[in-house]
Structure 1
Amino acid sequence: MATAVPAERDAVARAFPGPGRELAVPGATLHRIPRNGSPQVYDLLAAGVGPARAAAATAAALTAAALDGAPCHLVVSAGIAGGFAPHAPVGSLVLADEITAADLGAETADGFLPVTALGFGTVSHRPPAGLVRAAAAATGARTGTVLTGSTVTGTAARAAELRTRHPGALAEAMEGFGVAEAAAAHGVPVLELRAVSNPVGPRDRSAWRIDDALAALTDAFGKLATVLESWNPYDQ
């Protein structure tokens, strides 16, 4: 499970009480928590802020696990996010059915062109649909597109532009696409879960509810544990 910062990682960890231990991987430290009655574990990683740092740290963790003979079967990008009002209000949970890079491409006189329109790469990853449905049912999360940006939105005009370009967008964060790129490179499915701490748009830090969003993240992962532990990627 990859978050941006330690506060998010610790919020997820609180959903899995029990002794854990720290393991160093190149450029990062994993917090490994055993699963009750199972040889499998949860690896929690504060990967860093932004898609590039998140991709690098997640890839390092996945490589280390594979070399250790215990490859990961699922990667979860988790944390707090901005929500597009009124579709994802502050305090709600969002599960990505599509993880999309919102600013990977070119600005032209005729508008924004995604990198795929330039003939390169990809801009979206889709988590397993059955897992998204099961996770949404367990947590009560809304499902839709979660956008990843290297620059977060700070104006109403930019928020409106993003919703026009991505009508299914519910939330905006900075790491999901990077985590998904690393997972895809390793052939591992990905899930993204976000707790909304603020609306996407003008930045009013005094109105942000970060502590409430972190608490919602802990509660969500407490409900999600059974889904994660029963999910079999080979059934997809």
Structure 2
Amino acid sequence: MRPLIVSATREEIANSIPFLEKHNIPYLITGVGMVATTYALTRYLSTNNCDLLLQVGIAGAIDRTIDIGTVIEVDCDILSELGAEDGDHFIQIKDLGFGESEYRKINLSSIETYLPKHIGITVNTIHGSEKSINNVKNLFPKASIESMEGASFFYVAHHLNIPSLQVRSISNHVEKRDKSTWNIPLAVKNINEWLVSFLQKYY
């Protein structure tokens, strides 16, 4: 098996990079956001082969029952802002007849994360106001995780038909912006511990 580890920023996987380099496991730093992720991942895969795409990083939890620092798997992710406004009503891209906005992981039967499974939304703007948070909860009531890259990662994997996993560690709850309640160091520590343990088990 040849995995590719994908992360938006170097900081999110910095603790694991010595292990990755020692074991010749390739990794890709895409940059933050959907556009950067789609471009970087597609460009890499145009000249490199892999058996599994594994995106790791931090994320916010819409569901406040998920504790900060929890490591979870996002097995379905939604491009939540792709669509049109009709007054106060939002129309998703699929309802406009212009394509899909929901993408799922592609299973590799020999691999299991044994992590809690969640639905995510992917956004250009991290939610930080009560009004926008309530809107997204009403639009996507089953979604519990928010990131800026997940659905675009699954989008590329889907179109290239490459097995894919997305694993996130919760750094904050999605609420009115208050960085004093965030714990990025804990989230980074936990995602790196999980990543090394996972790779030691399967690779």
2:46 maps to 63
- Is 2:76 the counterpart of 1:102? no
> Deviation at 1:74?
1.6
Q: 1 CA distance for matches of 2:196 and 2:180?
A: 29
RCO higher in structure (CA 8 A, sep ≥6) = 2
8 A contact 2:107–2:163 mirrored in 1: no
Distance 1:130 1:156, change over 3 A: farther
Contact 1:154 1:201 in 2 (8 A): yes
Equivalent residue, structure 1, for 2:33: 50
Alignment counterpart, residue 142 of structure 1, candidates 116, 119, 126 = 116
Structure 2 equivalent of residue 22 of structure 1: none
Which ranges of structure 1 fall in alignment gaps of 5 or more residues? 20-32, 35-41, 66-70, 230-236
The residue type equivalent to 2:157 in the other structure is: A
TM-score (norm 2): 0.88
Cα distance in 2 for residues equivalent to 1:115 and 1:54? 20
Listed one character per residue, the Cα deviations across residues 41-87 of structure 1 (whole Å, up to 9, x for unaligned) are x221110111011100000111120xxxxx11221221111112323
Aligned length in residues: 199
Unaligned residue ranges in structure 2 (runs of 5+): none
* Deviation for aligned residue 1:227: 5.7
Taking a change above 3 Å as real, the CA distance of residues 113 and 228 of structure 1, as seen in their structure-2 partners, is farther
Find runs of 4+ consecutive structure 1 residues off by over 4 angstroms: 129-133
Q: Find the residue that maps to 2:59 and give its secondary structure.
A: strand
Asked if the contact 1:75–1:190 (Cα under 8 Å) also holds between the matched residues in 2, the reply is: yes
Q: Is the 8 A contact 1:3 1:46 kept in 2?
A: yes
- Deviation (angstroms), 1:17: 5.7
- Backbone CA RMSD of aligned residues: 2.2
Q: Which moved more, 1:195-204 or 1:184-193?
A: 184-193
Relative to structure 1, the CA distance from residue 228 to residue 162 in structure 2 (aligned partners, 3 Å threshold; closer, same or farther) is: farther
Say which of 137, 145, 164 aligns to 1:171: 145
SS at match of 2:46: helix
Distance 1:228 1:152, change over 3 A: farther
Higher deviation after alignment, 2-11 or 45-54: 2-11
Local SS of the residue matching 1:64? coil
* C-alpha deviation, 1:223, in angstroms: 2.7
Once the two structures are TM-superposed, the CA of residue 194 in structure 1 deviates from its matched residue by 0.7
183, 186, 197: which one aligns with 1:209: 183
C-alpha separation in 1, matches of 2:159 and 2:175: 33
C-alpha contact (below 8 Å) 1:97/1:132 kept by paired residues? no
Distance 1:73 1:129, change over 3 A: closer
Shift of 1:159: 2.1
**Counterpart residue number, 1:2:** 6
Secondary structure in 1 matching 2:187: helix
Name the amino acid aligned to 2:175. Answer: G
CA contact 2:128–2:175 (8 Å) conserved in 1: yes
Cα distance in 1 for residues equivalent to 2:167 and 2:91: 27
Instruction: Find the counterpart in structure 1 of residue 93 from structure 2.
Output: 115
The reply on whether 1:188 has 2:162 as its aligned counterpart is yes
Letter in 2 for 1:181: Y
- Is the 1:97–1:129 Cα contact (8 Å) retained in structure 2? no
How many angstroms apart in 2 are the aligned matches of 1:180 and 1:187?
A: 10
The residue that corresponds to 2:134 in the other structure is 160
